[in-house]
Amino acid sequence: TGLQIGTLETPSGVWIRPSTADGLVYVEGRWYRGPVQLISQSDGLLAVNHTDVETYLYSVVGAEMPASWPTEALKAQAIAARSYAVVHISRPASDYYDLGSTTRWQAYPGAETETNTTHLAVNETRGMLLSYQGGVVESLYASSEQLVKEAHGGFGMSQEGANQLAQQNFNFQQILGRFYPGTSLAVLNIK
């Protein structure tokens, strides 16, 4: 019904916060940016990392696509992942968190998949979303064209396709336009 740490007892959980603004928290073999809430549940503890979307994307982009791929492919991935996240934040995965950490949602292994290239892709597309008729697109994607067909009925971005287009000097807008026809880019400003 609660947690006990030494002589301290809590009714349902505790917060673990990094000691500095850019610090990390270690949970089950992985480092995460931002505070982690440990919640007592009947079958054990649930660890929930609380972070903003842009910081979350530093990890997601590197987990979903090789960070060594061209910057324009990484930017397309950042926008697709941001759009997907924003759609799902509006309909949370659970009472405790907005997005899960598995590939069902978007792969989120924490800081281990962050690189200078994923930071660059996220920072250079900060706030950009895919939009259709004023709404945010649930921008589905998968690693290959075949998986896009199987999992999403042919709608969505093939990450391998994005890589190939970037290698042909397509920019991220052209890449997204190829996979999400009829959409446009919008910018979400959160203050």
**pLDDT tens string 116-161:** 999 999 999 999 999 999 999 999 999 999 999 999 999 999 999 9
The model's confidence at residue 81, banded by pLDDT at 50, 70 and 90, is very high
The model's confidence at residue 11, banded by pLDDT at 50, 70 and 90, is confident
* H helix runs in the chain, sequence order: 53-64, 71-89, 116-124, 145-152, 159-167, 172-179
Look at residue 107 in the predicted model and tell me its pLDDT.
Answer: 92
The model's confidence at residue 90, banded by pLDDT at 50, 70 and 90, is confident
Whether the per-residue pLDDT at 91 is higher than 90: the answer is: no
Half-sphere exposure of 107 (CA within 13 A, CB side): 15
Whether the per-residue pLDDT at 47 is higher than 70: the answer is: yes
Look at residue 191 in the predicted model and tell me its pLDDT.
Answer: 61
How far, in Å, CA of 146 to CA of 170, rounded?
21
Whether the per-residue pLDDT at 1 is higher than 80: the answer is: no
Mean pLDDT on 54-77: 97
Decide: helix, strand or coil at residue 94. Answer: coil
pTM of the model: 0.91
**Is 88 in contact with 95 (CB distance < 8 Å)?**
no
Look at residue 180 in the predicted model and tell me its pLDDT.
Answer: 97
